[in-house]
C-alpha cells in the first residue's frame, strides 16, 4: 500500500496485471481498466454501437452519474419501473418500456443482486443487450456466475468506499470480442493520468481507506462522526458529498494508472474476505431489525452472494430518523439515489445504516438496538 501511494516503486504493467486478474476472477474474456466508472459506461455504450438519439432504459430510481453519461452522449433515457421490494428494475414490468430501446442498464442496488435472469430473458426476447452497473456489488455472484459477467457487458466504479477500490477508476468486463475491438479503437489514443493526479488520488484514497480499517474506524472515524453529528452534521454529510458534474463525451480518455492497477491487484485478493464480513454484518443487522414497526427492510435473493455495499432501509420521515440515530451515536447516510421521470414506485425515505469491515459485531448489534429504540 505505502509504495503505491508514494510512487517510489516500479509498478510497470500494473494495469495489465489488474485487468488480467479481474478477468480471471470474473470469468470473462476481456477487462479494460480506465480512470472512472463513468468512462467505463461510456465505453460500454460505444462498444455496443449506440449513437446520439438512441434510447436506453434506466431504472427510474437511479444513480445520477449514469444519467449524466447518457446526457453527455446525447442518448435518450427511458425510465423503467422499480420493484419496491428489491429497489431494482421490475422485470415483470420491463416489457412496458423496452420497445424501441437499444440497451437496458441494470443497477444491483446497494450490493443486492438484481433479478438478472428475468431481466435477461426480457432483453434476449427483444434482442436488446443488458448492461450491468456492478459498482455496488463487486464480488457478488448468482450461482456460479459473477456479477459483471451476467449481462452483455459489465461496468464498475473503483472509487473509495466501493467493495473493490483503486482510489478512483473504473472497469469494463465482457465476453464480446467485437465490443472490445470497438472499445480498443476508442482507447488507442488514451494515456495514463498525469503522475501528480495519480499521487493525489492515492493519498486521498489512502486516508479514506484507513478510516474503514478497525483501527481507523474505532480510533478516528467513529469518534469524529459522533462529534460532527452533534455539533456540525452538515460537515459530516459534506465529507461524503460527491459533486454532480456533467459528463463531457469529448473529454480525453485515460486508462487506469499502473500504480492504481498494482493496488487493485492487492485489493482483489482481499475482496472475498471483506465481502464476507459485510455479508455477515448485514445479515446479523437485518435479523436484529425483523418485526420493527415503521421499518421496511430490503428484500433480496437469499441464494445469491449479495455484497451489501450498504444496508438500505425505508422509513417515513428519514431526516427525523437520522437525527434520532445520530443522537444515539449511529452514523447514517442520506440516500444517494434519485428519482427520475414522473412516477415514484414507493414513497418512503431511504437511509443507509453503517456496514463496513471496520465494524465489530458489537457495533452491528448497537445499530440494531438504536433503530429499535427510535421506532418503538
Return the C-alpha cell found at 88. Answer: 431494482
Residue 226 has pLDDT above 70, yes or no: no
pLDDT tens digits, residue range 165-192?
Answer: 998 899 999 999 999 999 999 999 887 7
In angstroms, the CA 86 to CA 93 distance is 14
CB 93 within 8 A of CB 72: no
Confidence class for position 7, pLDDT limits 50, 70, 90:
very low
Could you tell me which residues are beta bridge partners of residue 171?
33, 156
Mean of the pLDDT values across residues 211-222? Answer: 56
pLDDT on residue 118: 97
Domains in the chain, ordered, with CATH? Answer: 2-192 (3.40.640.10)
Confidence class for position 334, pLDDT limits 50, 70, 90:
confident
pLDDT on residue 192: 73
Query: What do you get for the CA distance between the two ends of the chain, in Å?
Result: 45
In angstroms, the CA 281 to CA 279 distance is 5
Q: How many CB atoms lie within 10 A of CB 158?
A: 29
CB 132 within 8 A of CB 151: yes
Confidence class for position 245, pLDDT limits 50, 70, 90:
confident
CB 103 within 8 A of CB 57: yes
pLDDT on residue 331: 81
Three-state secondary-structure class, residue 57: strand
Length of the chain measured in residues = 376
CB 246 within 8 A of CB 70: no
pLDDT tens digits, residue range 84-127?
Answer: 999 999 999 999 999 999 999 999 999 999 999 999 999 999 99
Question: What are residue 146's phi and psi, to 5 degrees?
Answer: -85, 150
pLDDT on residue 217: 53
CB 132 within 8 A of CB 155: yes
- Pairwise pLDDT comparison (225 vs 156), residue with the higher score: 156
* Mean pLDDT score of the chain: 89
Choose the weakest-confidence range: 26-35, 70-79, 197-206.
Answer: 197-206
In angstroms, the CA 136 to CA 64 distance is 14
pLDDT on residue 223: 63
pLDDT tens digits, residue range 31-73?
Answer: 999 999 999 999 999 999 999 999 999 999 999 999 999 999 9
**One-character DSSP codes across 8-26:** -S--TTHHHHHHHHHHHHH
Three-state secondary-structure class, residue 78: strand
Amino acid at each position: 500500500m505505502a509504495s503505491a501511494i508514494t510512487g517510489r516503486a516500479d509498478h510497470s504493467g500494473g494495469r495489465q496485471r489488474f485487468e488480467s486478474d479481474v478477468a480471471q476472477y470474473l470469468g470473462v474474456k476481456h477487462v479494460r481498466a480506465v480512470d472512472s466508472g463513468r468512462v467505463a459506461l461510456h465505453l460500454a455504450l460505444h462498444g455496443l454501437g449506440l449513437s446520439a438519439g438512441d434510447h436506453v432504459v434506466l431504472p427510474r430510481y437511479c444513480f445520477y452519474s449514469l444519467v449524466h453519461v447518457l446526457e453527455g452522449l446525447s442518448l435518450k433515457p427511458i425510465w423503467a419501473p422499480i420493484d419496491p421490494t428489491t429497489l431494482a428494475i421490475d422485470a415483470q414490468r420491463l416489457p412496458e418500456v423496452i420497445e424501441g430501446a437499444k440497451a437496458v442498464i441494470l443497477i444491483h442496488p446497494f450490493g443486492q443482486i438484481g433479478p438478472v435472469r428475468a431481466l435477461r430473458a426480457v432483453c434476449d426476447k427483444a434482442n436488446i443487450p443488458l448492461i450491468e452497473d456492478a459498482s455496488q456489488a463487486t464480488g457478488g455472484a448468482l450461482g456460479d456466475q459473477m456479477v459483471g459477467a451476467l449481462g452483455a457487458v459489465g461496468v464498475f466504479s473503483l472509487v473509495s468506499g466501493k467493495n473493490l477500490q483503486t482510489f478512483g477508476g473504473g472497469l469494463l468486463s465482457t465476453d464480446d470480442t467485437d465490443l472490445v475491438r470497438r472499445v480498443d479503437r476508442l482507447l488507442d489514443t488514451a494515456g495514463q493520468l498525469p503522475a501528480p493526479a495519480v499521487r493525489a488520488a492515492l493519498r486521498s484514497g489512502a486516508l479514506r481507506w484507513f478510516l474503514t480499517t478497525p483501527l481507523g474506524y474505532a480510533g478516528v472515524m467513529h469518534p469524529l462522526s459522533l462529534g460532527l453529528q452533534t455539533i456540525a452534521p452538515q460537515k459530516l454529510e459534506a465529507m461524503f458529498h460527491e459533486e454532480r458534474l456533467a459528463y463531457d463525451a469529448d473529454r480525453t480518455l485515460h486508462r487506469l494508472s499502473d500504480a492504481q492497477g498494482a493496488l487493485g491487484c492487492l485489493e482483489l485478493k482481499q475482496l472475498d474476505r471483506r465481502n464476507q464480513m459485510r455479508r455477515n454484518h448485514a445479515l446479523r443487522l437485518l435479523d436484529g431489525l425483523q418485526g420493527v414497526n415503521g421499518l421496511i427492510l430490503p428484500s433480496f435473493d437469499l441464494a445469491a452472494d449479495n455484497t451489501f455495499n450498504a444496508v438500505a432501509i425505508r422509513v417515513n420521515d428519514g431526516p427525523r430518523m437520522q437525527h434520532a440515530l445520530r443522537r444515539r451515536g449511529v452514523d447514517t447516510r442520506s440516500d444517494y439515489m434519485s428519482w427520475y421521470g414522473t412516477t415514484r414506485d414507493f414513497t418512503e425515505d431511504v437511509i443507509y445504516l453503517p456496514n463496513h469491515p471496520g465494524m465489530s459485531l458489537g457495533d452491528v448489534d448497537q445499530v440494531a438496538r438504536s433503530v429499535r429504540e427510535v421506532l418503538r
